[in-house]
C-alpha cells in the first residue's frame, strides 16, 4: 500500500472518529481530540541545533525546550540547504529545490526564484484560509519569488525579536477575530548576525579578553585574518562570538515565551497547530567557514523542528526527517490530504507525513553559490543511517559517522578503499544525481561532480 493510500485511510479514520480516544494520523502523529483548525508557522533564522538545551544540556533555550517536550520534537531534522533563500521554498512547498526546479542561489538574492513561483501557502488560501506574515529577514524585501505576495497581510522589514513579537500578537488577534480559519507565518531574525542582543543579556562580556576583531560588525568575514592570529587571539575572538550568540538565543527564547503566553491568554492557541522550525544553522570556523551558506556540515545542516497542538499527543520522533516533511505533516494534522489531486496546479509535494518516509531514504542538503570566494560553489551532503558523505564542489569528498562523531570532526573518507563500500557508493550516486540537476540548471559547471569516487 502506497503512502497516499495509507494517508487516505488515516484521514478517513480521523473524520469518523470525531472527539474520542487517541487516534493515529500517521506513525509519528497521534491526536487525542479534535484536529486543530488554524496553523502558526513559527521560525527562527540561523539557530544552531547544538545550542538548543534539549540537545546541548545548556540553558540558552528553556522555553523552546519546554515546547519541544510538550509537543512532538523532531530530533533528527535536516535542512534542505544552508541558507534561507533555499529552505523557505523547500519547507513551504514540501519539496526539495530539485523537485521544484529551483535552488536559491547566493549572489543573486531574490532573482533565482521566479516572481510567478507558486508557494504552498496557496494550498491554504484556496481553502478559505486567511493568511498573514510577520518577517524580520531582509531578503524577503527583495521579493524572493513573490513569497510575501502569497499572504493577505504582511509586516516585513528589519526588526529585532521584541518587535517581531509585538507585530505577531497584533496580526494573530486580527486573524483570529475575523472568523475564518487562518495561517500565520512568523519569522524571527535573531540570532542572525550582527550579534547585538540587548545589553541585559551580555553578562560576563566585561570578563573576556579583548577580541582582535569587531564581533558586532555584521557578517563574520574574518577568514583571512584568522590565519594570522595567534591561538590566544583566536580564543578571544571565539569567546566573544559564542557569548554574544548564546545571548541572542536567550533573547529570542524570551520573546517566543512572551508571544506564546499572550497568545495563550487570548485563547488563540486552543485551536491552532504550531509548526516550529529553523531555516538553517551557523558555523564558527568548524569546517573552513564562518556564518552559514558556507558548507553543508552538521552545524549548518542540523536544524530545530517541532509540532504542537492542544490535542497532539507529546512525544519525540527520532527518525530521520527533512524540511520537506513539515508541510505534508501539518496538512495531515489539519485534516487536509497533502496529496489531493485537486491541488494539481500547485507544485507537487514530495515530502512525507511524519513517519511515512521509506526506511532507505537518502536525505540531501544542497548549497548552490555564485560567488564562491574560494569556497565550494555547489556543496552537497547525502546521509542515511549514521553515514554522511559530503562533496564540497571543488573536488573534496568527506565521510562521517554521525553516531560516533556527531560534530563531524573526523573525516573517514579513504580514496583507496571507501569507494568499495556499497553504502558509500549509494550516497555518492545520490550526490551525483543532485549535482546533475545543478549542472542542468546552470548552477554548477559541467564536470564539477566527478563520475566516480
Cell 554574544, located at residue: 244
Q: What is the pLDDT of residues 256-307, one digit of tens each?
A: 999 999 999 999 999 999 999 999 999 999 998 889 988 899 999 999 999 9
How far, in Å, CA of 383 to CA of 363, rounded? 5
Residues of the chain with CATH 3.40.720.10: 3-196+236-343
H-state helical runs in 190-267: 223-228, 231-265
How much is the pLDDT for 344? 67
Q: What are the C-alpha distances in Å from 391 to residues 269, 366, 378, 416?
A: 43, 10, 8, 17
430 neighbors 372 (Cβ within 8 angstroms): no
Query: What does the DSSP 8-state code read for residue 328?
Result: H
How far, in Å, CA of 63 to CA of 71, rounded? 12
Is the CATH number 3.40.720.10 carried by domain 3-196+236-343? yes
**Total residues belonging to the chain:** 453
How much is the pLDDT for 436? 85
The predicted model scores a pTM of 0.92
Residues of the chain with CATH 3.30.1120: 376-440
How far, in Å, CA of 169 to CA of 258, rounded? 10
Query: What does the DSSP 8-state code read for residue 111?
Result: T
How much is the pLDDT for 147? 87
Query: What does the DSSP 8-state code read for residue 136?
Result: -
How much is the pLDDT for 377? 66
- In words, the CATH class of domain 376-440 is alpha beta
How far, in Å, CA of 439 to CA of 445, rounded? 6
Edge-to-edge strand list for the sheet holding 305-308: 153-156, 130-135, 182-188, 38-44, 272-278, 305-308, 72-74, 315-317
Q: What is the pLDDT of residues 177-207, one digit of tens each?
A: 999 999 999 999 999 999 999 999 999 999 9
How far, in Å, CA of 137 to CA of 404, rounded? 36
* Average pLDDT in the chain: 89
What average pLDDT values come out for the chain (453 residues) when binned by 10 residues?
39 43 91 97 98 97 98 98 90 92 57 77 94 90 76 94 98 96 97 96 97 90 88 96 98 98 98 98 91 92 98 97 98 95 79 96 87 58 97 88 97 93 96 85 67 71
7 neighbors 14 (Cβ within 8 angstroms): no
The residue among 71, 70, 72, 52 whose CA lies nearest residue 62 is 52
Amino acid at each position: 500500500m502506497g503512502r497516499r493510500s495509507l494517508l487516505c485511510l488515516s484521514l478517513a479514520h480521523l473524520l469518523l472518529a470525531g472527539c474520542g480516544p487517541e487516534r493515529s494520523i500517521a506513525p509519528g502523529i497521534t491526536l487525542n481530540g479534535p484536529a486543530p483548525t488554524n496553523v502558526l508557522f513559527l521560525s527562527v533564522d540561523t539557530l544552531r541545533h547544538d545550542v538548543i538545551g534539549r540537545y546541548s544540556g545548556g540553558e540558552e533555550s528553556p522555553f523552546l525546550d519546554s515546547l519541544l517536550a510538550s509537543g512532538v520534537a523532531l530530533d533528527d531534522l535536516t535542512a534542505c540547504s544552508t541558507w534561507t533563500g533555499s529552505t523557505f521554498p523547500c519547507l513551504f512547498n514540501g519539496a526539495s529545490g530539485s523537485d521544484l526546479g529551483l535552488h536559491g542561489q547566493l549572489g543573486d538574492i531574490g532573482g533565482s526564484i521566479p516572481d510567478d513561483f507558486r508557494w504552498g501557502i496557496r494550498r491554504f488560501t484556496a481553502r478559505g484560509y486567511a493568511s498573514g506574515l510577520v518577517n524580520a529577514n531582509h531578503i524577503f524585501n527583495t521579493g524572493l519569488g513573490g513569497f510575501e505576495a502569497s499572504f493577505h497581510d504582511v509586516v516585513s522589514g528589519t526588526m529585532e525579536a521584541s518587535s517581531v513579537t509585538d507585530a505577531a500578537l497584533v496580526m494573530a488577534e486580527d486573524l483570529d477575530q475575523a472568523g475564518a480559519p487562518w495561517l500565520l507565518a512568523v519569522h524571527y531574525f535573531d540570532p542572525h548576525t550582527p550579534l547585538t542582543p540587548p545589553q541585559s543579556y551580555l553578562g560576563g562580556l566585561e570578563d573576556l579578553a579583548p577580541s582582535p576583531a569587531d564581533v558586532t560588525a555584521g557578517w563574520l568575514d574574518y577568514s583571512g585574518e584568522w590565519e594570522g592570529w595567534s591561538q590566544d587571539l583566536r580564543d578571544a575572538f571565539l569567546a566573544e562570538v559564542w557569548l554574544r550568540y548564546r545571548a541572542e538565543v536567550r533573547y529570542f527564547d524570551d520573546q517566543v515565551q512572551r508571544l506564546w503566553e499572550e497568545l495563550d491568554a487570548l485563547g488563540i492557541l486552543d485551536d491552532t497547530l504550531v509548526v516550529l522550525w529553523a531555516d538553517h544553522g551557523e558555523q564558527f570556523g568548524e569546517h573552513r567557514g564562518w556564518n552559514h551558506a558556507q558548507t553543508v556540515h552538521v552545524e549548518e545542516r542540523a536544524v530545530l523542528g517541532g509540532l504542537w497542538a492542544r490535542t497532539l499527543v507529546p512525544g519525540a520522533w527520532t527518525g530521520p526527517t527533512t524540511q520537506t516533511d513539515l508541510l505534508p505533516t501539518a496538512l495531515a494534522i489539519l485534516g487536509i490530504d497533502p496529496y489531493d489531486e485537486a491541488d494539481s496546479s500547485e507544485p507537487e509535494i514530495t515530502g512525507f507525513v511524519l513517519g511515512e518516509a521509506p526506511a532507505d531514504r537518502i536525505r540531501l542538503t544542497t548549497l548552490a553559490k555564485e560567488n564562491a570566494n574560494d569556497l565550494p560553489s555547489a556543496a552537497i551532503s547525502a546521509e542515511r543511517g549514521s553515514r554522511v558523505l559530503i562533496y564540497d564542489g571543488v573536488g573534496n569528498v568527506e565521510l562521517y559517522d554521525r553516531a560516533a562523531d556527531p560534530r563531524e570532526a573526523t573525516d573517514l573518507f579513504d580514496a583507496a578503499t571507501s569507494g568499495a563500500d556499497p553504502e558509500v557508493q549509494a550516497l555518492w550516486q545520490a550526490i551525483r544525481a543532485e549535482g546533475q540537476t545543478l549542472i542542468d540548471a546552470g548552477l554548477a559547471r559541467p564536470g564539477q561532480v566527478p563520475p566516480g569516487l
